[in-house]
Structure 1
Amino acid sequence: MPPRLDQSISAQELATLVGPVEAVPGPRYAALARRIRELVTTGALPSGSRLPAEREFAAALGASRVTVASAYRLLRAEGFAVTRHGSGTVTELPAASSAWRAPTTDPAQLDLAHAAPEAVPEVLDAYQQALAALPAHVSGHGYAPSGLPELRTAIADRFTARGLPTDPDQVVVTAGTGDATAIVFQTLLQPGDRVLVEHPTYPGALGMVDAAGGRCVPAPVDAADPDALVGAAALVARQSSPRMAFLMPDFSNPSGARLSAAGRRRLSATLWQHGVLAVVDEVTAELHLDDGPLPPFAAGLPDAATVTVGGLSKVVWGGLRIGWLRTDAALAAQVGAALGRRQLSVGVVDQLAATALLRRLDAVLEERRRTLRERREVLLEEVARVLPDWHAPRPAGGLSVWCRLPPGTSSAAVVAAAAPHGLLLAEGRAFGTGHAFDDCLRLPFTLPPDRLRTAVRLLAEVTAGLPARAAAHTGPARPATVV
Structure 2
Amino acid sequence: MTIAPTAHRHLSPAATARLLGTWHAGGPAYAALADALRAAILAGTIAPLTRLPSERELAPVLGVSRTTTAAAYRRLRDLGFAISRVGSGTVALLPRFAETPAGGDVAVPDAAAALGDPLRRNAAAGPAAPPGARRPLLLNQATAPAAPEVGPAFERALAALPEHLAHGGYAPYGIAPLREAVAERYRARGVPTTPDQVLVTTGAQNAISLAVRTVLRRTETAVVQSPTYFHALDTLREIGARTVGVPAGHDGLDVDLLESTVRRTRARLVFLIPDHHNPTGTSLTPVERAAVRELAERTGVTVLADETLTDLALSGPPDTNPPFDGDGSSPHLITVGSTSKTFWGGLRIGWIRAHPDVVARLVRTRQSTDIATAVMEQLVAADLIARRDEILPGRLDWFRQRRDSLVAALRDALPWDVPVPDGGQFVWARLGRPVAHAFAAAAAAEGVMVNSGPTFTPDGSSRDRVRLTFPHTADALEEAVPRLVRAWARIR
TM-score, reference length from structure 1: 0.73
What is residue 400 of structure 1 aligned with on the other side?
A: 426
Aligned to 1:165: 192
Map Cα deviations across residues 53-109 of structure 1 (whole Å, 9 max, x no partner).
xxxxxxxxxxxxxxxxxxxxxxxxxxxxxxxxxxxxxxxxxxxxxxx9444488932
Equivalent positions of 1:279-294 (< 5 A) are: 279-292=304-317, 293=319, 294=321
| 2: CA distance, partners of 1:335 / 1:297 | 20
Retained in 2: the 8 A contact 1:189–1:213? no
Q: Which residue of 2 aligns with 1:209?
A: 236
Report the AA paired with residue 270 of structure 1.
L
Is 2:268 the counterpart of 1:243? Answer: yes
Q: Deviations over 1:246-278 (max 9, x none)?
A: 000111111112111122111221232121110
Give the residue type in structure 1 aligned to 2:449.
Answer: L
Q: Report the CA distance between 1:301 and its aligned residue.
A: 5.7
Question: What displacement does 1:229 show?
Answer: 2.8
3-state SS of 2:165 partner: coil
Matched residues, number: 366
Matched residue type, 2:392: L
Task: Give the equivalent residue in structure 1 for 2:344.
Answer: 317
Aligned-partner Cα distance in 1 for 2:337–2:136: 28
Segments of 4+ moved more than 4 angstroms: none
Report the equivalent of 1:302.
329
2:9 match: none
- 1:436 aligns to what SS in structure 2? coil
Return 322-331 or 431-440, whichever deviates more: 431-440
In the other structure, the counterpart of 2:209 is: 182
1:391 is the counterpart of 2:417 = yes
Q: CA RMSD in A?
A: 1.9
- The answer to whether the 8 A contact 1:428-1:438 is kept is yes
Cross-structure match for 2:480: 455
Q: 1:326 is matched with which residue: 350, 353, 359?
A: 353
1:454 partner letter: E
User: Does the CA contact (< 8 Å) of 2:192 and 2:327 recur in 1?
Assistant: no
Q: Is the 8 A contact 1:237 1:271 kept in 2?
A: no
Shift of 1:340: 3.1
Deviation, structure 1 residue 337: 2.4
Shift of the 301–137 alpha-carbon distance from structure 1 to 2, 3 Å rule, reads: closer
* Pairing 1:154–2:154 present: no
Query: Does 2:286 correspond to 1:257?
Result: no
- The answer to whether the Cα contact below 8 Å between 2:338 and 2:350 also exists between their aligned partners in 1 is yes
CA contact (8 A) 1:423 1:455 kept: yes
Rounded to whole Å, the distance in 2 between the matches of 1:253 and 1:371 is 19
Give 1:341's aligned residue: 368
Q: How many angstroms does 1:213 deviate by?
A: 2.4
Measured in 2, the distance between the counterparts of 1:216 and 1:310 equals 23
Whole-angstrom CA distance in 1 between matches of 2:329 and 2:223:
20
2:149 aligned with 1:135: no
Q: Retained in 1: the 8 A contact 2:202–2:349?
A: yes
The one of 121, 127, 142 equivalent to 1:115 is 142
- The two structures have a TM-score, normalised by structure 2, of 0.72
Output the amino acid matched with 1:240.
T
Structure 1 counterpart of 2:244, which letter?
Answer: V
State the Cα distance separating 1:160 from its structure 2 match: 0.7
Q: Is the 8 A contact 2:190 2:327 kept in 1?
A: no
Shift of 1:407: 2.2
Q: Write the letter of the residue equivalent to 1:414.
A: F
Equivalent residues of 2:312, 2:423 under 8 A apart: yes
